[in-house]
Chains A and B, each alone.
Chain A
Amino acid sequence: MDNIAGQKSTLSWAVNISVIALVLLWLFPTVGLLVSSFRTTDQISGSGWWLALFPSEQNLTLRAADPDKNRVRVDGMWVVEGNLFAEGSVAKISAWGTTSRDVGAYVPGETADLGEGETMTVQANGDYVWSGTESQISGRGQRVLATAITPPEFTLANYERVLFSGTGTDSMAKAFFNTMTVTIPATIIPIAFAAFAAYALAWMDFPGRGILIAFIVALLVVPLQLALIPLLKLHLDIGIGKGYLGTWLAHTGFGLPLAIYLLRNYMVGLPRDIIENAKVDGATDFQIFTRIILPLSFPALASFSIFQFLWVWNDLLVAKVFLIDATGETTVMTQQIVELLGTRGGNWEILATAAFVSIAVPLVVFFSMQRYLVRGLLAGSVK
């Protein structure tokens, strides 16, 4: 590959920039989603996810402790002392006030005169002293509106909620396993069929082989939407109905043309001598297939299974038509996210978490198998 013309092109900077642009284009929303899924509603509305690693300035509404339980008498005044923040917090107050009209009225350490001798002093770390007469220091705790610099903070609460403790509409756990139940057989079944078919179409001599290959290539361009209604009708007529079996069959059917086409093109590129040698060695077609062709076709098999896995995992249409019924017991993650958009449209942290749960497995699959994807694709198309 070293001596390909144009290898040292002056346009390599353009290539590099394009690559960087593509990487950023992909990374920006993905990382954003990931970061957002670890933040709280307040953090998301307060600052963009790219600021999540830095301390953020927030307007907080805090309240002094319940005066009836905490007040003590000091020098004839009733005093409540304490800290506005929860224990362990390291937020820093930069300005504060006691009314919403002027939230930045005082700096930390300043004493606010609340009228008729009632005073309030708030330090940067949230320590406060609230003092006044018995009637003033009673009822509800004094409200403090503070502008605080809070350190970055991440939480697993969203995941806990989405995966484990959520109610029916929030929970992704069941949908996650449903998606798994759909995806794994819907990846393995077409691969198994296609590998056999591809071997026959590549290496076995039978009449009509060429026409069959042409027919399969033609099927590649048939949109699957054409088949949805007739196929569902067929499923209902023969008693499969809506369910996993029908979904697996549908995905298998829709995936097969591409699978056969890719695998056949790869297998036909394997050296003829090897197969003929195996024949001379006495191997049957089945033995040639299992002992020689399958191991050598691993890159192509892997690359197609990645394709099929990602496509089935992200599928909504086929699942809606062939799987999801009124009970909602068989909902898949794509459908679940659609529903979340309706019921939880404002809770970005829930949506981001749900979305990330649904892309996590494809990401793992992609990164663990991407070398086969690249190798398999090249091998299948070039050779």
Chain B
Amino acid sequence: MAELKLTNVGKTYGGKVEVLKGINMDIKTGELIVFVGPSGCGKSTLLRMIAGLEKITVGSLEIDGVVMNDVPPSQRGIAMVFQSYALYPHMTVYDNMAFALKIAKKPKAEIDASVRKAADMLQLTEFLDRLPKALSGGQRQRVAIGRSIVRDPKVYLFDEPLSNLDAALRVATRIQIAELKESMPESTMIYVTHDQVEAMTLADKIVVLADKGIAQMGSPLDLYERPQNEFVAQFIGSPAMNLLPGDITATGASTTINLQHGHEAVAEVQTEPGEKGWHVKVGVRPEDFRIAEEGEHIFFEGKVDYIEALGEVTLLYFRETGADNPIIAKLPGIHPDLRGQTVKLTADAGKVQVFHEGRSLRTR
């Protein structure tokens, strides 16, 4: 049961290097918030500021209405799971999980009960007497999670908890975290990752951090379907959204854009008459492209330079477009014969984004 409120939070190192500024955020009880962003965007720093491991330079952090800026980590009612597990290597799993409670001088019986309960929840009971070095990576991460559960915190903080695990284990542990969240609907969780799949699958709300601030905050699908700016549009989704430069030629409930490489795009985006002639970028997700049938509006035409066949989908790469990055189309199924062919692509007007000076015209 905890609400977090960040007001105008910023972080400056040594009075000069500004890494975060103007972070405003309201996190409600029981939400799982995921911070994503490119490396170095300050997402871990923000988490550590919430944890109390980094000082908040400006702004205020409130947990349940109490300003926490100068409260030491242990009294904030938070628990943190580190990327490196940060288990105490000289203690058994049991002692690792009991450490915080022993420090808090809880009665022995109570410690024992909560450790065993958490171990049971995470299937760690048979490992309680082992040292961390005798555990696999996934088990160690479970111990780290168990250690935070034992403390029964108001807010759980996860700092890239899965990035040290191999792919298969990552999926399994991700599902475990999702189940854990479901079993504790009252607890608030903040989760930092650079892995989009984790963000999309786990989050109630994703916060995309970029350029020292919040680029966009919203539900995973909201971010996917209605990105507010070019950065979020390209950051969410893989491969990244294609951006094609062009000029608005017709405005209204649906906008027509004359693309630089010769074709026209139509987007169901509301524009004003005065905006005719604006230089914009049209964004289309690779998976929204499909091969144009006879008589359909052609969005893009080009020779396929390269193919990546993934089985369930095929990625087509078009290099000679004038854009910096190749245009990518993701077609369902297997298309081995398309390499070197000229392909006509189209996309639904409802899924096309239009960006002017980096901002989306759809969400303004």
Q: Which of B73-81, B208-216, B235-243 is near enough to bind chain A?
A: B73-81
A273 to chain B, nearest CB (A): 4
Main secondary structure of the interface of A (DSSP, over half): helix
Q: CA separation between A281 and B103, bound complex, in Å?
A: 8
Is B311 interfacial (CB-CB < 8 Å)? no
A280 to chain B, nearest CB (A): 5
- When the two chains form their complex, are residues A282 and B90 in contact, meaning their CB atoms are under 8 A apart? no
Encode A256-291 as 1/0 by CB contact (under 8 A) with B.
000000000000000101101111111100010001
Is B99 interfacial (CB-CB < 8 Å)? yes
- When the two chains form their complex, are residues B78 and A280 in contact, meaning their CB atoms are under 8 A apart? yes
Which residues of the partner chain A approach B99 to less than 8 Å between Cβ atoms? 278, 281, 283, 291
- When the two chains form their complex, are residues B103 and A280 in contact, meaning their CB atoms are under 8 A apart? no
Nearest opposing residue in chain A for B151, CB measure: A281
Nearest opposing residue in chain B for A273, CB measure: B86
Nearest opposing residue in chain A for B78, CB measure: A280
Encode A277-320 as 1/0 by CB contact (under 8 A) with B.
11111110001000110011000000000000000000000000
B340 to chain A, nearest CB (A): 43
- When the two chains form their complex, are residues B103 and A276 in contact, meaning their CB atoms are under 8 A apart? no
- When the two chains form their complex, are residues A280 and B88 in contact, meaning their CB atoms are under 8 A apart? no
- When the two chains form their complex, are residues A279 and B73 in contact, meaning their CB atoms are under 8 A apart? yes
Nearest opposing residue in chain B for A270, CB measure: B89
- When the two chains form their complex, are residues B104 and A282 in contact, meaning their CB atoms are under 8 A apart? yes
- When the two chains form their complex, are residues A279 and B103 in contact, meaning their CB atoms are under 8 A apart? no
Encode B304-337 as 1/0 by CB contact (under 8 A) with A.
0000000000000000000000000000000000
Pick the contact of B82: A273, A283, A291, A296 (CB < 8 A).
A273
Nearest opposing residue in chain B for A295, CB measure: B90
Which residues of the partner chain B approach A273 to less than 8 Å between Cβ atoms? 82-86
Which residues of the partner chain A approach B147 to less than 8 Å between Cβ atoms? 277, 281
A375 to chain B, nearest CB (A): 14
A131 to chain B, nearest CB (A): 84
Is B51 interfacial (CB-CB < 8 Å)? yes
B310 to chain A, nearest CB (A): 33
B51 to chain A, nearest CB (A): 6
Which residues of the partner chain B approach A295 to less than 8 Å between Cβ atoms? 90
Q: CA separation between A277 and B85, bound complex, in Å?
A: 9
Nearest opposing residue in chain B for A281, CB measure: B100
Q: CA separation between A274 and B132, bound complex, in Å?
A: 13
Known contacts: A280-B73, A280-B78, A281-B100. The answer to whether A271 contacts B86 by CB under 8 A is yes
Most buried by B among A281, A283, A295, A296: A281
A213 to chain B, nearest CB (A): 19
Tally chain B residues at the interface, Cβ within 8 Å.
Answer: 25
Known contacts: A276-B53, A277-B80. The answer to whether A282 contacts B86 by CB under 8 A is no
- When the two chains form their complex, are residues A296 and B53 in contact, meaning their CB atoms are under 8 A apart? no
Q: CA separation between A287 and B99, bound complex, in Å?
A: 11
Which residues of the partner chain A approach B83 to less than 8 Å between Cβ atoms? 273
Most buried by A among B72, B86, B100: B86
- When the two chains form their complex, are residues A282 and B88 in contact, meaning their CB atoms are under 8 A apart? no
Nearest opposing residue in chain B for A294, CB measure: B90
A353 to chain B, nearest CB (A): 43
Q: CA separation between A39 and B84, bound complex, in Å?
A: 61
- When the two chains form their complex, are residues B86 and A274 in contact, meaning their CB atoms are under 8 A apart? yes
Within 8 A of B (CB), among A196-248: none
Within 8 A of A (CB), among B51-84: 51-53, 72-75, 78-80, 82-84
Most buried by B among A274, A282, A291, A295: A282
Pick the contact of A280: B53, B85, B87, B90 (CB < 8 A).
B53
Within 8 A of A (CB), among B263-286: none
Pick the contact of B86: A276, A283, A291 (CB < 8 A).
A276
Which residues of the partner chain A approach B85 to less than 8 Å between Cβ atoms? 273
Encode A304-343 as 1/0 by CB contact (under 8 A) with B.
0000000000000000000000000000000000000000
Q: CA separation between A25 and B75, bound complex, in Å?
A: 61
Which residues of the partner chain A approach B52 to less than 8 Å between Cβ atoms? 280
Most buried by B among A271, A280, A281, A282: A280
Which residues of the partner chain A approach B72 to less than 8 Å between Cβ atoms? 279
Which residues of the partner chain A approach B88 to less than 8 Å between Cβ atoms? 274, 278, 292
Most buried by B among A271, A277, A278, A283: A277
Q: CA separation between A271 and B104, bound complex, in Å?
A: 23
Q: CA separation between A320 and B258, bound complex, in Å?
A: 96
Q: CA separation between A292 and B89, bound complex, in Å?
A: 9
Known contacts: A276-B53, A287-B103. The answer to whether A281 contacts B86 by CB under 8 A is no
Which residues of the partner chain B approach A277 to less than 8 Å between Cβ atoms? 80, 82, 86, 147
B106 to chain A, nearest CB (A): 11
Which residues of the partner chain A approach B80 to less than 8 Å between Cβ atoms? 276-277, 280
Which residues of the partner chain B approach A291 to less than 8 Å between Cβ atoms? 99
- When the two chains form their complex, are residues B74 and A271 in contact, meaning their CB atoms are under 8 A apart? no
Nearest opposing residue in chain A for B53, CB measure: A276
Known contacts: A279-B53, A282-B74. The answer to whether A271 contacts B100 by CB under 8 A is no
Nearest opposing residue in chain B for A284, CB measure: B103
Pick the contact of A282: B51, B84, B89, B103 (CB < 8 A).
B103
Q: CA separation between A110 and B86, bound complex, in Å?
A: 89
Which residues of the partner chain B approach A280 to less than 8 Å between Cβ atoms? 51-53, 73-74, 78-80
B98 to chain A, nearest CB (A): 10
- When the two chains form their complex, are residues A271 and B84 in contact, meaning their CB atoms are under 8 A apart? yes
Which residues of the partner chain A approach B89 to less than 8 Å between Cβ atoms? 274, 296
Nearest opposing residue in chain B for A282, CB measure: B74
Q: CA separation between A283 and B103, bound complex, in Å?
A: 6
Which residues of the partner chain B approach A287 to less than 8 Å between Cβ atoms? 103
Which residues of the partner chain B approach A292 to less than 8 Å between Cβ atoms? 88
Which residues of the partner chain B approach A271 to less than 8 Å between Cβ atoms? 84, 86
B101 to chain A, nearest CB (A): 9
Pick the contact of A276: B82, B87, B90, B151 (CB < 8 A).
B82
Q: CA separation between A131 and B73, bound complex, in Å?
A: 105
Which residues of the partner chain A approach B90 to less than 8 Å between Cβ atoms? 295-296
Which residues of the partner chain A approach B74 to less than 8 Å between Cβ atoms? 279-283
A111 to chain B, nearest CB (A): 82
Q: CA separation between A274 and B99, bound complex, in Å?
A: 12
A235 to chain B, nearest CB (A): 41
A230 to chain B, nearest CB (A): 41
Encode B39-57 as 1/0 by CB contact (under 8 A) with A.
0000000000001110000
Q: CA separation between A273 and B141, bound complex, in Å?
A: 14
Can you add 4 more A-B contacts, CB < 8 Å, to A271-B84, A280-B51, A282-B74? A280-B78, A283-B74, A291-B99, A296-B90
- Which 9 A-B residue pairings sit nearest by Cβ, starting from the closest? A282-B74, A273-B86, A281-B100, A277-B86, A273-B82, A295-B90, A280-B73, A282-B103, A273-B84
A-B contact pairs, 9 of them (CB 8 A): A273-B84, A276-B53, A277-B86, A278-B99, A280-B53, A280-B73, A280-B74, A280-B80, A287-B103
